[in-house]
Chains A and B, each alone.
Chain A
Amino acid sequence: MKSLEQVGKYFELLVRVFSKPERHSIYVRQVFNEIDNLGVNSVGIVTVISIFMGGIMTLQVAYNLQNPLLPIYLIGLGTRDTLILEFSSTILALIMAGKIGSNITSEIGSMKVTEQIDSLEIMGVNSASYLILPKIIAVVLMFPVLYIISVFFGLIGGLIVGPAVGAVTATDYLNGIQYLFNSYYVTYSLIKCLVFGFLISSISAFFGYTVEGGAFDVGTASTRAVVNTNIMILVWDLILTQLLF
């Protein structure tokens, strides 16, 4: 019953978030600030994670394809498709729910418990829209960009690690990542990224905006936000995979 109430409040908040902004120019400025804060600041961690995961994936695929009947270039193909289909969209979304999501929850939650949100309301500002809408737009816009960066650096990671440990030659790996490329896989993943970006930003914002109490409660809300976002990402991954294939 309480969960249903939460869902109702979430949609109620979304209605407020998507109502007409007071001053468009300020919202546009906020969107650019959030793109920098939530998106550009995540490029570093996405790059590092993707290089390592690309390398690890190449090794895993190589160890599982140790069969003389299977062509060696399949290592590159396996790495590429894993990155494009699941890692750089879903797994990255789960990681970003921790980084971006907890950032959003703690920022908005802290504003709530220090009465900054009340202060906006008293001024006549729609605090839900002012604080949350730019974050949603920024994350939805930036997540596909992070996805592309992740795929690129994941493939680079494989190219570095595979030949370095002798699992695959650079030529075979490069042949593999170009073999039987299906561009729809990218389209499918980009659609997922848009949905995941929305889920990460809106669910995290909801938990921050509805926090009551003090610093301890903000911490609890951040944890709950990450857990709930992760569950919703996996649920929607399942739904979208069924719908789009």
Chain B
Amino acid sequence: MIEVRNIYKSFENKDVLKNISKVFNEGETNLIIGRSGSGKTVLLKSIVGLHEVDQGQILYDGRDFTKMNPKLRKKLRQEMGMVFQGGALFDSLTVEENVRFPLDMFSEMSGVEKQKQVDFCLERVNIRDANKLYPSEISGGMQKRVAIARAIVLNPKYLFCDEPNSGLDPETSLVIDKLVRSITVDLKITTIINTHDMNSVMEIGDNILFISDGEMCWEGNRKEILHSTNQKLQEFVFANKQYQRIRDDKIKE
């Protein structure tokens, strides 16, 4: 479980996050949604420590990340996996080497055990016959799946995904969503996903935080979103007529 308490963050006197508090549960897909520029990426990067918060606490199963020294943070980071918007795979390494990298760095496994774990993770994300290819030789969807495999190779307790569906077609996006959800449930990890993809919200939104202009605007789950009377949320989620129709149909049901 990850808990953020009263987080504030500003850049050059511009407040980007204002008093954000939220509990992100274990075994659930926790979503942070909001318009572009609403502060959701800053929030995610603050949670993982890529940005230092100005005020507030970030607790990983009760351990205060904001008060940890660099050594402890480094140790905690080995319990994290992150999938970046662009995949962030290492260009100079093959698919297999990318997934193996965290094992080479931090595990005491033998070469055979590492290979088994790499194969298992690649199998888990349905990547076959691409082990020796470089990231530039595979599609965007495959890159995202390899990034997920790399993120889970050390069996993390916390998984973070920054817009995992950006730039992907709807079918591949659905595959990625289902994959992240099944990993979250199977491995009982705490997953936080940053997204503005409404398909993801409706498909895997167990616990949703909607932020607008750096402030917490609404929280709930994908069912509650349909009945929410929050004006900003309604405008954001149901901006598309198709979603408005889906909402109306679901409410009728």
**Residues on A close to B: CB < 8 A?**
22-23, 26, 110-111, 114-116, 118-119, 121-126
- Complex interface: stretch among B98-106, B117-125, B207-215: B98-106
Report B-chain residues with C-beta under 8 Å of the C-beta of A121.
50, 77
Residue of B nearest to A110 (CB): B91
Do the beta carbons of B85 and A124 come within 8 Å of each other?
A: no
Contact with A along B59-84 (1 / 0, CB 8 A): 00000000000000011111011101
With A121-B50, A124-B78 as known contacts, state yes or no: A114 contacts B86, CB within 8 Å. yes
Distance between B87 CB and nearest chain A CB, rounded to angstroms: 8
Query: A123 contacts which of B45, B77, B85, B160 (Cβ < 8 Å)?
Result: B77
| Interface residues of A, dominant DSSP | helix
Q: Which of A22, A116, A122 has the most CB of B within 10 A?
A: A122
Residue of B nearest to A130 (CB): B105
Query: A115 contacts which of B77, B85, B91, B102 (Cβ < 8 Å)?
Result: B85
Residue of A nearest to B90 (CB): A116
Residue of A nearest to B162 (CB): A115
Report A-chain residues with C-beta under 8 Å of the C-beta of B91.
110-111, 116
Q: Which of B75, B78, B160 has the most CB of A within 10 A?
A: B78
Query: A122 contacts which of B50, B75, B89, B106 (Cβ < 8 Å)?
Result: B50
Residue of A nearest to B85 (CB): A115
For the complex, what is the distance from the CA of A119 to the CA of B76, rounded to whole Å?
15
Report A-chain residues with C-beta under 8 Å of the C-beta of B160.
122
Distance between A36 CB and nearest chain B CB, rounded to angstroms: 12
Whether B201 sits at the interface, judged by CB under 8 Å, is no
Do the beta carbons of B104 and A124 come within 8 Å of each other?
A: no
Do the beta carbons of B106 and A124 come within 8 Å of each other?
A: yes
Do the beta carbons of A26 and B105 come within 8 Å of each other?
A: yes
Report B-chain residues with C-beta under 8 Å of the C-beta of A22.
105-106
Query: A119 contacts which of B45, B78, B82 (Cβ < 8 Å)?
Result: B82
Whether B88 sits at the interface, judged by CB under 8 Å, is yes
For the complex, what is the distance from the CA of A123 to the CA of B101, rounded to whole Å?
10
Residue of A nearest to B83 (CB): A119
Distance between A11 CB and nearest chain B CB, rounded to angstroms: 18
Residue of A nearest to B82 (CB): A122
For the complex, what is the distance from the CA of A23 to the CA of B48, rounded to whole Å?
23
16 pairs, CB–CB < 8 Å, chain A vs chain B: A23-B105, A110-B91, A111-B90, A111-B91, A115-B84, A115-B86, A116-B89, A116-B90, A118-B88, A119-B84, A122-B80, A123-B105, A123-B106, A124-B106, A125-B105, A126-B74
For the complex, what is the distance from the CA of A23 to the CA of B78, rounded to whole Å?
14
For the complex, what is the distance from the CA of A110 to the CA of B91, rounded to whole Å?
10
Report B-chain residues with C-beta under 8 Å of the C-beta of A119.
82, 84, 88, 90
Report A-chain residues with C-beta under 8 Å of the C-beta of B82.
118-119, 122
With A115-B85, A115-B86, A116-B90 as known contacts, state yes or no: A123 contacts B102, CB within 8 Å. yes
With A122-B77, A124-B74, A124-B78 as known contacts, state yes or no: A116 contacts B88, CB within 8 Å. yes
For the complex, what is the distance from the CA of A118 to the CA of B48, rounded to whole Å?
10
Q: Which of B50, B88, B101 has the most CB of A within 10 A?
A: B88
Report A-chain residues with C-beta under 8 Å of the C-beta of B104.
23, 26
Residue of B nearest to A23 (CB): B105
For the complex, what is the distance from the CA of A24 to the CA of B78, rounded to whole Å?
18
Do the beta carbons of B48 and A122 come within 8 Å of each other?
A: yes
With A23-B104, A23-B105, A26-B105 as known contacts, state yes or no: A123 contacts B88, CB within 8 Å. no
Q: Which of A23, A111, A123, A125 has the most CB of B within 10 A?
A: A123
Report B-chain residues with C-beta under 8 Å of the C-beta of A123.
77-78, 80, 101-102, 105-106
